[in-house]
């Protein structure tokens, strides 16, 4: 069965960086793109970026452009989301989700989420 397992909770200081991993299993990793989203406490979902694991192509939200880097390791079937220059507003749960192949498919499987806490 399809599973996305994310790395554990992280605590960082203002100005630090954090790297969250998302290990995929149960399907061909390179056949589906991967979304990354953030959910601040009590808030809506927010798109961070997207990667095509087959060729490594990425797209980023303008809000995070310049601070976020999404990569993948196809040998480990794992996607990574690194966010730098952290500030308190970056505190939240970060989710990865598999993007269905066809246009409009959305995130059909989600990771369990990774809580990132940024404090001064």
Q: Is 47 in the site for another protein (CB under 8 A)?
A: yes
Of 14, 33, 104, the closest CA to residue 72 belongs to 33
- Toward another protein, which CB reaches closer, 42 or 75? 42
Q: Which stretch binds another protein (CB under 8 A): 9-17, 19-27, 42-50, 71-79?
A: 42-50
The CA–CA distances, whole Å, from 26 to 6, 89, 101 equal 15, 34, 16
**Minimum Å distance from CB 108 to another protein?**
5
Nearest-angstrom CA–CA distance, 49 and 65: 9
Is residue 37 near another protein by the rule CB under 8 A? yes
Distances in whole angstroms, Cα of residue 114 to Cα of each of 18, 28, 31, 117: 11, 23, 24, 10
The reply to whether 55 sits near another protein by the rule CB under 8 A is no
> Which residues bind to another protein, rule: CB under 8 A?
35, 37, 44-47, 50, 59, 61-62, 95, 97, 100, 102-108, 110-113
């Amino acid at each position: 069965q399809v599973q996305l397992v994310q790395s554990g909770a992280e605590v960082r200081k203002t100005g630090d960086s954090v790297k969250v991993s998302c290990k995929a299993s149960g399907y061909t990793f390179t056949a589906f793109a991967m979304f990354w989203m953030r959910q601040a406490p009590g808030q809506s979902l927010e798109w961070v970026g997207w990667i095509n694991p087959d060729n490594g192509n990425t797209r980023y939200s303008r809000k995070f452009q310049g601070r976020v880097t999404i990569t993948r390791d196809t040998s480990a079937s794992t996607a990574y989301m690194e966010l730098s220059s952290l500030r308190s507003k970056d505190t939240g749960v970060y989710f990865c989700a598999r993007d269905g192949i066809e246009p409009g498919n959305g995130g059909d499987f989600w990771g369990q989420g990774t809580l990132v806490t940024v404090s001064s």
